Structure 1
Amino acid sequence: MVVTIFIVLGIISITVFYFVKPSIFLYNNTNKIIYVYSSESTYGVEPNEKEVEEIIKMKPDVIDPGETLKLAPSILSLLKKNIRKDTGWRIGGRYSFNSVGGGGQAFMLTRASGVCSVLITINDNKSELEEIEKSYCYKKIKPFKDSYPNG
């Protein structure tokens, strides 16, 4: 009986966290495939060797022209403090030598300020960040004032 209660509470907790996570939507407004790289880290802390290896081996998400990708922080990141979510992309190729451009945006996860959802529209020469109305989220995402340069 006690085990059943814990299982039910666990399922409810996971479901609630799933629906209250902030979201980053990326829309491909180009006629090329976009390769998206996303990672989470503690703000101001350099990654260790294992984390660097994971970043290097990371497989990108792919967004076809006219499609949208949704990214959300992990449940563990919502429970930690000073978490930063980095999102970067390449247009037309996975690497700088075979792509026609790219860019990125960094976000802080915070309870104090920010928004629950953003839409990044990726165009050939620039990207546009737009806030999306969402009623509630456990933590908000706050874009850094400076973003990565395109190219």
Structure 2
Amino acid sequence: MRLRPVTDSDLPALDLLNRAAVPNVNDVGVEGLKHLAAQAAFFRLAEDETGPLGFLLAMTPEADYDSPNFLWFKKRYPDFCYIDRVVVAESARRLGVGSALYQAVIDFSTGRAPVLTCEVNLQPANLGSLAFHERFGFRQAGTQDTENGKKTVSLMIRPL
């Protein structure tokens, strides 16, 4: 497995991975991923000889982004690195892909921001993701209902 920066030519394949992960991430389509890529401070792809295994996209407060979760952090923290989405292919789960992506974003963010932030779904529950983030030292800083009450998220931070 290797990690590398995402290019525009990767976006159709990453869109397929992203769609397969709904409702744990929002479906944004290729154009949405292109917009997010333009705002990203960190956008890495994990791949092997078979193709993409997963990706992680993160941004800093300067991003032009209106996600309610991003804005929640922006209102409370003057500086942070926000993990907007992490997706790992079903076939690549439990193989260290997520851990490699998280270690890469931690390394990238250390010295750039005092905290790494993200959200994890509480409703619909994503217990595997919650446990994963807790193992990486994240703790809940708050909760928020989104999508007109269809989702509740745990807003999490990890000091760097």
Q: TM-score range by the shorter chain?
A: under 0.3
In terms of fraction of residues, the more helix-rich structure is: 2
Question: TM-score scaled by structure 2?
Answer: 0.27
The structure that has the greater radius of gyration is 1
Question: TM-score scaled by structure 1?
Answer: 0.27
